Structure 1
Amino acid sequence: MTAQPDPQHEIDGDVYVSPRYLASTTGTGDPALAPLLDLRWSVEHDDLGNGYISAPDRRVRVGYLPEGEDDGLWRINAYRDPFGPPVWGACFNDRTPTEFVTALTTALATAYEQGPGACLARPVAGIEEHDPFRTVKPLLDQGWVLDQPRRRVFAVQAPDGLAALEYTRGPLDRDAELTTRDARWQLWAGKSIDRPAWYATFSTDTPVAVLTAVTECVADPAPLPRWCAATFSYIEGMARLTPIFPPAPTPLDVRRAVAARRPAALPAASVPRWSITSRPALPGPRR
């Protein structure tokens, strides 16, 4: 599939962006925070406006860091011991489509409600529910193809070559997985992994259910709605933009509109009536 030129000069207003992985952030974190706030997780802010969301037992923490030290806008960590190191971590940079972050926080909220074990369930090859390679199936089902771009790296690539999910084999530095892009899984979109338009990383022990929720959202063929004038909301020059037109009015809509514009009926003219208090008629002219 060949990327289409950006038609921004012809389109204005609301648009659909396709494929959806060529969209970008919506510019607000509210949708991704909602699944956690609905569970009444605590929220704290620093002086810069960064937000920190914690589960009641402090075993899961989410950082929304618009004023962070790097482009890692979202950092999600899970802990077996609230005072120990993270068991697993995920990071989304500041241009990742917000819907993909929301998919993770929704799955995370569901797992947390199931108990601590669900949030900390390690991937186990050969066990279907926890098999790490189950995460690539939604992408393969949508025509993504297997690839080996580099030594020790296995990848599933989008048909147009503008997105990929990469898996690095062999031992990795645990701390580096949580703080850099050298993680077990990396999802990205753009012309190359060296300078992606957006990226997300997931460390070795990220639960399969959590990561699969993200790949299912990425693989969904439905486009994402965005505002065309905000060029940060899609990958300029690569994404296909389709105007979103309001639905055509139905006959009932037309009748209601006509009725709303019709002037109100004038009150009926008062008709004088004789009564016992009426003044008697004046005598008419003589003939």
Structure 2
Amino acid sequence: MPPDKHRPPSDDGDVYVSPRYLATATGIGDPALTPLLELGWDLEHDDLANAYVHAPDHTIRLGFLPEGADDGLWRINAYKDSFAPPTWGVCFNDTCPTEFVTAFTTALAKAYEQGPDAYLADPDTISEHRQPFLAVVPLLQRGWQLDHPRRGVAAIHSPDGLAWLEFTTGDLDAKAELTTRDARWHLWAGTSADRPFWYVTASTDTPVALIGAITECVSDPVPLPRWREDTYSYVAGMAQLTPILPPRPPVPTPLDIQRAATRRSATALPTSVPRWSTTSRPAQPGSSR
């Protein structure tokens, strides 16, 4: 059977999770670090196994923090001045699928190669790549629905209502945006924003193209491979889990083996078949044998 072009090849999982925003984290950070390391960015570790990656000019820093102070596993900040507060910051929590982080770091690596205007544009500059609507386009194209706006917040959600993107209007506290979930952009999945399955936050002035890379990946209809036993029980009841490989045939029991042997012996040919000898002569008429 030819492979399904809508399913990714998998070397790490026994089920496909659909929709992909109900998948769990993989627990492996290497895929998300690779796009930046391939540019020659520096990698360091601390005594707690946290990893830190920064651009050669120190305008961007990434922290992979499994032993961090909170559930912010991935923190990416950009700086115009190495000694000043970040110009913008993005956070992925510890249950966010790694594929979404990888989509962001891949777009970030591309923007870095294009130059500072692609990732450190002046907040006062009105340009196409800073229009918030551009980050919502992938969601609208895939059937996400605009929610009834509430005061100060515009929102859009997936068709099943289990994934949301919220954009806060008005003024926000710059420090709180970098340290809490009270940020300009808030993307999450679950049945409640207070207790999401996972979340992503992005502060004011985060380039919209980078946020669009996340929304493009989150809304992609292609499922994600995962191990069934690692899928959270409260998610498994909402997601569709499709086996990647056909189930293995059951191991035969001793009774199955005995029955098979009995069937073979019942249908086997006799060990010898009587037949006329080629040297025998036919009986003469009237003679007795």
Shorter-chain TM-score: what band?
Answer: 0.7 to 0.9
Pairing 1:140–2:107 present: no
Distance 1:151 1:60 in 2: 33
**1:129 Cα deviation from its structure 2 partner:** 2.9
Cα offset, 1:231, TM superposition = 2.4
Instruction: Check the 8 A contact 2:23/2:231 in 1, yes or no.
Output: no
Q: In the aligned structure 2, how far is the partner of 1:122 from the partner of 1:241?
A: 45
- Give the aligned partner of residue 106 of structure 1: 106
Q: Displacement, 1:130?
A: 2.5
Q: TM-score by structure 1 length?
A: 0.78
Equivalent in the alignment of 1:64: 64
Per-residue deviation, residues 88-113 of structure 1 (Å, max 9, x unmatched): 00000001010000000001001111
Query: What percentage of aligned pairs have identical amino acids?
Result: 68
Tell me the TM-score normalised to structure 2 length: 0.77
Matches within 5 A, 1:25-64: 25-64=25-64
Task: Quote the offset at 1:239 in angstroms.
Answer: 1.3
Provide the rounded CA distance (Å) in 2 between the counterparts of 1:131 and 1:152: 17
Q: How many residues align?
A: 234
Q: Counterpart of 1:163? A: 163
Question: Letter of the aligned partner of 1:222 in structure 2?
Answer: V
1:22 touches 1:234 (CA, 8 Å); kept in 2? no
Question: 1:122 deviation in Å?
Answer: 5.2
Q: Residue 24 of structure 1 contacts residue 234 of structure 1 at CA under 8 Å; is this kept in 2?
A: no
Name the counterpart of 2:191.
191
**Quick one: which amino acid aligns to residue 169 of structure 2?**
R
Q: In structure 2, what residue type is equivalent to 1:14? A: D
- Distance in 2 of aligned mates of 1:159 and 1:203: 26
SS of 1:229's equivalent?
A: helix
SS in 1 for 2:192: coil
RMSD across aligned positions (CA): 1.8
Match of 2:213 in 1: 213
Q: Which moved more, 1:125-134 or 1:111-120?
A: 125-134
Greater mean deviation of Cα atoms: 222-231 or 198-207: 222-231
SS of structure 2 residue aligned to 1:235: helix
Is the contact between residue 77 and residue 89 of structure 1 (CA under 8 Å) also seen in structure 2?
Answer: yes
Deviation at 1:70, TM superposition (A): 0.4
Unpaired runs of at least 5, structure 2: 1-12, 247-289
Letter in 2 for 1:59: T
Query: Tell me, what secondary structure is at the counterpart of 2:236?
Result: coil
Q: CA deviation at 1:125?
A: 9.3
Once the two structures are TM-superposed, the CA of residue 15 in structure 1 deviates from its matched residue by 0.6
Letter in 2 for 1:25: A
Structure 1 residues 1-287: aligned runs within 5 Å = 14-121=14-121, 127-148=127-148, 150-232=150-232, 235-245=235-245
CA distance, structure 2, for counterparts of residue 55 and residue 77 of structure 1: 11
| Higher alpha-carbon deviation: 225-234 or 193-202 | 225-234
Q: CA deviation at 1:123?
A: 6.6
Paired with 1:88 and 1:214, the residues of 2 have a C-alpha distance of: 16
Letter of the 1:118 partner, please give it: A
CA distance in 2, matches of 1:209, 1:233: 34
1:229 deviates by 1.6
Task: Mark the CA change 1:127 to 1:115 in structure 2 (over 3 Å): closer, same or farther.
Answer: closer
Q: What is the Cα deviation at residue 141 of structure 1?
A: 0.6
Task: State the 1:50 CA deviation.
Answer: 0.6
In 2, are the aligned partners of 1:19 and 1:221 still within 8 Å (CA)?
Answer: yes
Query: How many Å apart are 1:24 and its aligned residue?
Result: 1.6
What is the distance in 2 between the residues matched to 1:197 and 1:73? Answer: 14
Shift of 1:149: 5.9
Indicate if the aligned counterparts of 1:162 and 1:190 stay in contact, CA closer than 8 A.
Answer: yes
Based on CA coordinates, which of the two structures has the bigger radius of gyration? 2
The match for 1:269 is: none
Q: Distance in 2 between matches of 1:159 and 1:73?
A: 28
Query: Tell me, which stretches of 5 or more residues in structure 1 are unaligned?
Result: 1-12, 247-287
1:237 CA displacement: 2.0
Give the Cα–Cα distance (whole angstroms) in 1 for the partners of residues 76 and 154 of structure 2: 24
